[in-house]
Amino acid sequence: MTQKLSPLYSQLPAIDRLLHEPQIALFVEQYGQTLVTATLRKMQEQVRTNIRQHQELPDWCDNWAVALGQQLEQRQVLSLKPVFNLSGTVLHTNFGRALMAESVIEAVTQVMRSPVTLEYSLDGAGRGHRDCALANLLCELTGAEDACVVNNNAAAVLLLLATVASGKQVVVSRGELVEIGGAFRIPDVMAQAGCRLVEVGTTNRTHLKDYQQAINEETALLMKVHTSNYRIEGFTAEVSGCELAKLGVKSQIPTAIDLGSGSMINMAQYGLPAEPMPQDYLNQGIDLVTFSGDKLLGGPQAGIILGKKQWIEAIQRHPLKRALRADKMTLAALEATLRLYQCPEQLCYQLPTLRLLTRSQQEMYDLAQQLLPQIQAYYGGQFIVRNEPCYSQIGSGSLPVELLSSWALTFTAIDGQGRTLEQLAQHWRRLAKPVIGRISEGRLWLDLRCLEDGKALLQALLL
């Protein structure tokens, strides 16, 4: 027996009729007929589903033009949305790590709008090398013989290993077999590069003799990995770069170190914990050094390889280089970032990462005092709002146990329910520009270290 269709289906307007409505015709001019028609068909299916499940029309059926406009607007929203990072993590991987300096933004905009000399030599009117200008700049800043740039540091390590040690053995301390974000592990990267890992030493102590005893005719590389995302303390020992470099020369085996985050300046001069610099290891005689562009360097996502010219030239010739190379926007952003390092006196002001890391606690406290009255007045009915001291972290595996004194606004639910805090945090995540804090110790914290525009935050929170 045929089931009787609901009379509500007859109230569905035809697509052709809708397209001729004046307001919808304007949407066609703005968005194009293809997108408008596809959205209307999707809306029709939503109505049919609602009739089947609830035997009623959705409320918005009273005005298809308004509902269509809302859906079209939502479909045009970009998935990468700006947020207020008040989580307390400066280089937050989930938020894109380093912020770009204004000069960097201008440089990227320029190469997006115009043809550029990416692989074109103005001297010879022929093909040039896309890494050339950056290599010269990196060599100037670090003293390296040559340099190579790829799309991230994992790619840099992969390319280095595939070039130097494919099919051969790589000797690494057991205590340096790190795992980085997303469960990417150094041993796995080595396997993908076709290398055979040889672990030496123990988790907490590795000596030069451990490397010496592991060397044989199959050994292609002696490698160190800076444990940038964790620290072992107490009864420990590790082989220095200088010791490893001397062993490499004696054994005629190249040496390398992966620094991970990698800082090109002495962080201690800014009151921050010291982090090993690539130029230090090059000066110690290490052949190849890799590090990231978007962490402590403060630039775009990129992987940088510095080292001896003969090895960099071999790396540049490897077939994987083309698959891992950086695009013009990354190269422009990285070059503009590195240009800032030519004027170290201004670096703390011009480089956003360094500026945020070096802010004094007093600066965040003053900001909290300015924001507190209006936020208390707005949220005081449901929450106890205070300003409190807190600690920020650098993030992205950089200086993992070092904390930075900061100041925060905290929200405690008057009803004592954790669910109330979760609802507030969820509400903030749904704002036009989401506000991201952290829930800890029964409070919702807005760490102000990464906030430089208090008025913008007030405008977002007090809607």
Give the up-direction half-sphere exposure of residue 380: CA atoms within 13 A in the CB hemisphere. Answer: 8
The structural domains of the chain, ordered by start, are: 2-76 (no CATH), 84-93+356-462 (3.90.1150.110), 102-348 (3.40.640.10)
One-letter identity of residue 93: T
What pLDDT, on a 0 to 100 scale, did the predictor assign at position 2?
A: 40
Six-digit token pair at 282?
Answer: 């090059």
Give me the average pLDDT of each 10-residue run along the chain (463 residues): 65 91 94 95 93 89 92 89 96 94 97 92 75 94 97 94 95 80 70 89 86 94 80 73 95 95 90 89 97 95 97 96 96 97 94 96 97 96 96 77 91 93 96 96 97 96 89
Please choose, from the candidates 13, 62, 71, the residue with its C-alpha nearest in 3D space to the C-alpha of residue 38: 71
Helix (H) or strand (E) holding 172, with range, is strand 169-173
Q: Report the pLDDT value the prediction gives residue 340, as an integer from 0 to 100.
A: 97
Q: In this predicted structure, what is the pLDDT of residue 1?
A: 35
Kindly give, in sequence order, each residue whose CB lies less than 8 Å from that of residue 270, ignoring residues fewer than 6 positions away. 348, 354, 357, 358
Per the CB < 8 A criterion, the answer to whether 172 and 189 are in contact is no
What's the confidence (pLDDT) of residue 28?
Answer: 95
Kindly give, in sequence order, each residue whose CB lies less than 8 Å from that of residue 173, ignoring residues fewer than 6 positions away.
Answer: 199, 200, 201, 206, 210, 224, 225, 238, 239
